[in-house]
Structure 1
Amino acid sequence: MTSAATAPQPGADTIYFGGPIITINQASPSAEAVAIKDGKIVAVGARASVFAAEKGSATTLYDLKGRTLIPGFVDAHSHFTDVSLQAVTANLLSPPDGPVKTIPDMQAVLRGFISTSPMVKAHGVVIGMNLDDSQLEERRFPTRHDLDAVSTELPIFVTHQSGHLAVLNSRALAMVGITADTPSPAGGAIEREADGRTPDGVLKETAFFAIMPKMVPAFTPGEYRQNIEAAQRIYIENGFTTVQDGKTSAANVAALPVLNAEGVLKIDIVAYPDLVAVGDAPVLDGPLMSREYTGHLRIGGVKVTLDGSPQGKTAWFTEPYFKAPDGEEVDYAGLPAFTDETLQPLVDMAYTNHWQLLAHINGDAAIDQLIRVVSKAQSCHGYPDSRTVMVHGQFLRADQIPALKTLGIFPALFPMHTFYWGDWHRQSVAGPERAENISPTGWVLQSGLMTSIHSDAPVVFPNSMVLISTAVNRTTRSGYVLGPAQRLTPLQALYAMTLWPAYQHFEEGSKGSIEVGKRADLLILSANPLTAPVRTLDQIKVDETIKDGISIYQRERAP
């Protein structure tokens, strides 16, 4: 018999009211009140009707006081576990996100990091992340000699902001075994000095990916947990209630379930292991490979990387780069990671096993390749609702979009490039004409397809409102509006951060909109993005993040 003390209380746990409520539900776009019970949405509508149906003696009445309630954000492509590494490494970002404008600035940051970092003290390695040569006054990526000027005793490893190349000092090169006799691997490059043999420290694409595990310290379980908690705080403070971990390493595939079982994860993490690294490992056939979460973790599918980054000039184009990188011929068009013959078996494996496939692609030649191999896989293996995802698609051509629609390939685009590298794309990468239509969200929506937008963190800091602002305004660092026809409206940008990425992850039935029966993943914004001046969207703050009906973050505000 249930005692009075433990009997279920009638009515909702919480009712939100008193401010704009943007439901992201076309059938009922706005509401006056939302009721939550047991982590689910139980009523949405007029304030009087919601109160009459759901207000009980134990119901908490939450007055928004004019602030705006929306669904929780979904980061449609991100590297959650890499953000945990970023949290403990040297910040080499350029303004507005970091201090580095020159190579001497980089050297000064690294020296300061060496003197203060617990990681350097504990593990004897120096890692700096997110250096962007396009923003350096020298307009070049550093070499081993620039890092040797910081230290020749400690190994130093500095990654490019694209996440597709790095530079090592002489000590680090020796540590990973790269010498003048080491050949460049397929799909990558070991850059050389003037003699054509001596490595200058710069490693691109597969050459970089191969040495990455050797450079990252073997963190203790306690250190790893602290790093993950730091990464999670960043996402929560930006209103993300679901985050993708793209290209999850084998080590992180093993470590994340442990933290999940310990209750460390407070938001949902959907992981996509690197198919090349993991292959047909048993974890891909285990219980975590599911459309349902165990706690706050599931494996959503697998990822492959077809080319590099346009800002790092390794993306694979059908036309040459506007200005070829130093040391390359004028017809240089980037670095494909695979031939069709080597890629097809990987895609076939995903389709045969009904694993959702994410494909990192930036250049239009790589998109052509994806279309070819997916078309063949679908004709041979079926799986029509595969929701294969084209991640980034920076240089998607208009004539390629019908094939995406036919094959059901979901375009997860990256309009943050318009601000961070729009000028660089116009002046050096692709030239003014091709650069105009990077991340062509306008074309995609006009075709009738959905799209999501993402941070690709740690490539870019996962600031949710900056992400929305860049998609809406498409303004470069210099103030140029890049591709006005590709701009999203604020409402479309909200869809691209909520319901559409939920669909991308096969989660549209439980997330992405404020509807009865869905999970109470919500956030409160300081202002209404649908009525605020579009130039001020990046100034809107996340005041509170709510996961499954529980508040997990509240921004400190002046009384």
Structure 2
Amino acid sequence: MHRRGAHVGSRSILKAASVITMDPAQPRAEAVAIDADSGTITAVGSLAHCQGAAPDASIEDLGPAVLMPGFIQAHDHPVPAAVLCQQPAHWIAPFVGFPTWSELEALFDRLRKQTPAGQPLLFNGLDRLLLSIPMPDRTSLDRYFPDHPVLIFDITGHALYFNSRATQLFGWTNAMPPADTPDARWTRRSDGTAGGVGFETQATLMALSAFLPGVVPSPLFNLGAWYATLARNGFTAVGDLGFVSRLRAPMEALAALPGCPVRYSLYQTTYDPAAHSDMDFGELSGMIRRVGYKIWMDGSPSIGTAAISVPYLDSARARIADVPVGSAPGLSVLNYSLDQFLALVSQFGDKDFQIATHINGDAGIDVVLDGYEQALNGLGLSGLDHRWRVEHFATPSREQCARAGELGVTASMSPFQALYWGDLYDGVIFEPSYGARWQPYRDAYDGGVRPTFHNDGYLSPPLPWLNIQNAVTRRSASGTVHAPEQSLTLDEALQAHTINAAWQQKRDHEIGSIETGKLADFVLLSTDPYTVDPARLQDTVHTLGTWISARRVDLDGFMDSVKGIAPRYDQALITGAPPHQC
């Protein structure tokens, strides 16, 4: 267990209106005894029981509030989220304040006039499908921004758009992009120069690294602020599903701060040159640890790069967003063939490390499950407790869910897809029989994949109650119900953000429920969620605070600590260079 410093009055008892434990053997309690020296829970039950177990403990009465295990964000991208979802970058997603293209054009016009020539501008969250706009490119962005390097990230995280001035920041001679790879592809004009669009994760990282020095004064401070945002929404543990080794020093530095509000489980990218390097975090392993590897197999349905088996409907909305109407992408959009995928999985998976694979489409899910089955057999892991993962799992059939469960594969699902795009997927972009069941929670749960929920870092705000609300009601942002038979109970949806997520990260022996011997990671709620209309959970239940290792989180103090170390680590966060030593 990671000690988090000495505390005065190390033993205490927290008494709440109710304690939701997520422990089926004792679903509710009145009080929890905790020990700050070990950071653990020493007793759970009635106040009298906890006093008997810890007779010298002080009692803190939390009044009418409700205590729960801290939420777990199963799939996050902390560094992109830190620099793309906070100023001075501009988060331009429709659901965070820019619902129309005209409002975005007004922002572009204002920034063009206010920003000195040559100053880079960074945007995140362009949603071509919801805004009904064609794909931006180098030509169109040059018209908006002739004098500023501009980089715009698509809402999906699988595409980016840039102008001519940006190619200079990228260091491309005569705007000539590098050769394509499975993880970085570029559109090209007839003369071979950049068309202004890039696809997939290495393209994202390259472009972001080029823009950060001129846009974000202190990336580490932004990263600390992202940790604080997660904590304010009730999260105490998170999975980084795109970790690269050059981020080790700054993330390790944050984990070492006494007030760090979240634990990170790291899934390293297989294309990282140092993917096989040692990642022993020693005494910090309670706060940060590598648990597996991440592979991207397809893209996003919103830009036509998900490996789906059905055709896009020939609708005006689909045409203007440039998705391939009338065609089913199928396996043509996969980043790797089955043989290539199997080779990657076999190279990185073993009894100690999980594999997590991004796959949205049902056609691609078959390939991933085939690859997993062959690799698990080849590695001698078939039938063992490996907990390999599939990320997003947007369109599996009920049969695919059952197959995943039989293989011991677990899924982290994306309620934000059903919430923000459900109205379009159901009948506008896809046939209702296919699109209505987007994110089929019930099939996944019944199939035994122990689903978890996530917000995918910079793709959507980290709002656990909105995820839970969608899973229970199947209501999109408009209030429309899609495939109600795919809904979960409140118990099941809460499991997805607590004990299921802990189990998925192989940390269920430490976190995810309130049980004696586990780490004392809690979230304090304003209201008992079981007394609330499920359609109003997001508006009604509020986070009042969190605890990590039996210590209540002080976010102001944490951010002061981040500010103190930021100068040493900002450059390392941008370039991967060793931090400056005083």
Equivalent pairs, count: 536
Which amino acid letter does the alignment assign opposite residue 237 of structure 1?
R
Q: Percent identity?
A: 26
Q: Offset at 1:131?
A: 1.2
In the other structure, the counterpart of 1:331 is 327
Could you give the per-residue CA deviations for residues 41-87 of structure 1, whole angstroms, max 9, x where no partner exists? 1111122222333242xx33222222111000000111112211122
Q: Offset at 1:97?
A: 1.7
Q: Offset at 1:381?
A: 1.0
Aligned mates of 2:491, 2:7 — CA distance in 1: 42
SS at 1:433 equivalent: helix
Q: Offset at 1:406?
A: 2.2
Which of residues 266, 281, 302 in structure 2 aligns to 1:311?
Answer: 302
Q: Provide closer, same or farther for how the CA distance between residues 207 and 84 of structure 1 changes in structure 2, counting only shifts above 3 A.
A: closer
> What 5-or-longer segments of structure 2 have no aligned partner?
1-5, 557-582
Could you give the per-residue CA deviations for residues 154-206 of structure 1, whole angstroms, max 9, x where no partner exists? 2100011110111111222454338588776557754467x797754232336
> What 5-or-longer segments of structure 1 have no aligned partner?
1-5
Q: How does 1:10-409 map to 2 (within 5 A)?
A: 13-38=11-36, 39-56=39-56, 59-86=57-84, 87-102=86-101, 104-110=102-108, 112=110, 124-136=119-131, 138-176=132-170, 177=172, 186=182, 190-191=186-187, 199-205=194-200, 208-209=203-204, 211-218=206-213, 223-261=218-256, 263=258, 265-278=260-273, 280-282=275-277, 285-288=278-281, 293-294=284-285, 296-323=287-314, 326=322, 328=324, 330-333=326-329, 335-352=333-350, 354-383=352-381, 384-409=384-409
Q: Provide closer, same or farther for how the CA distance between residues 183 and 506 of structure 1 changes in structure 2, counting only shifts above 3 A.
A: closer
Aligned mates of 1:196, 1:307 — CA distance in 2: 28
Q: Provide the alpha-carbon RMSD of the alignment.
A: 3.1
Aligned mates of 1:449, 1:206 — CA distance in 2: 26
Could you give the per-residue CA deviations for residues 342-392 of structure 1, whole angstroms, max 9, x where no partner exists? 212110012247321111110112211111111111111113322111011
Q: Provide closer, same or farther for how the CA distance between residues 7 and 434 of structure 1 changes in structure 2, counting only shifts above 3 A.
A: closer
Checking the alignment, whether the CA contact within 8 Å between 1:441 and 1:451 is kept in structure 2 is: yes
Q: Offset at 1:341?
A: 2.0
Pick the structure with more helix per residue.
Answer: 2
Q: Provide closer, same or farther for how the CA distance between residues 36 and 355 of structure 1 changes in structure 2, counting only shifts above 3 A.
A: same
Q: Offset at 1:318?
A: 2.2
Aligned mates of 2:304, 2:403 — CA distance in 1: 26
In the other structure, the counterpart of 2:573 is none
Checking the alignment, whether the CA contact within 8 Å between 1:188 and 1:204 is kept in structure 2 is: yes
Q: Offset at 1:547?
A: 0.9
Aligned mates of 2:196, 2:207 — CA distance in 1: 14
Q: Provide closer, same or farther for how the CA distance between residues 402 and 237 of structure 1 changes in structure 2, counting only shifts above 3 A.
A: same
Q: Offset at 1:112?
A: 4.8
Q: Provide closer, same or farther for how the CA distance between residues 204 and 441 of structure 1 changes in structure 2, counting only shifts above 3 A.
A: same
153-162 or 334-343: bigger deviation? 334-343
In the other structure, the counterpart of 2:461 is 461
Q: Offset at 1:233?
A: 1.0
In the other structure, the counterpart of 2:559 is none
Which amino acid letter does the alignment assign opposite residue 546 of structure 1?
W
SS at 2:462 equivalent: coil
Q: Provide closer, same or farther for how the CA distance between residues 538 and 365 of structure 1 changes in structure 2, counting only shifts above 3 A.
A: same
Q: Provide closer, same or farther for how the CA distance between residues 231 and 453 of structure 1 changes in structure 2, counting only shifts above 3 A.
A: same
Q: Provide closer, same or farther for how the CA distance between residues 89 and 133 of structure 1 changes in structure 2, counting only shifts above 3 A.
A: farther
Q: Provide closer, same or farther for how the CA distance between residues 463 and 327 of structure 1 changes in structure 2, counting only shifts above 3 A.
A: closer
Q: Provide closer, same or farther for how the CA distance between residues 346 and 47 of structure 1 changes in structure 2, counting only shifts above 3 A.
A: same
Checking the alignment, whether the CA contact within 8 Å between 1:253 and 1:273 is kept in structure 2 is: no
Q: Provide closer, same or farther for how the CA distance between residues 533 and 336 of structure 1 changes in structure 2, counting only shifts above 3 A.
A: same
Aligned mates of 1:107, 1:77 — CA distance in 2: 32
355-364 or 323-332: bigger deviation? 323-332
Q: Provide closer, same or farther for how the CA distance between residues 245 and 187 of structure 1 changes in structure 2, counting only shifts above 3 A.
A: closer
Aligned mates of 2:214, 2:502 — CA distance in 1: 33
Aligned mates of 2:29, 2:303 — CA distance in 1: 45
Checking the alignment, whether the CA contact within 8 Å between 1:473 and 1:487 is kept in structure 2 is: yes
SS at 1:27 equivalent: coil
Q: How does 1:459-538 map to 2 (within 5 A)?
A: 459-538=459-538
Aligned mates of 1:8, 1:477 — CA distance in 2: 46
TM (norm. structure 1) is: 0.87
Q: Provide closer, same or farther for how the CA distance between residues 7 and 374 of structure 1 changes in structure 2, counting only shifts above 3 A.
A: closer
Q: Offset at 1:100?
A: 4.4
SS at 2:261 equivalent: coil
Checking the alignment, whether the CA contact within 8 Å between 1:546 and 1:553 is kept in structure 2 is: no
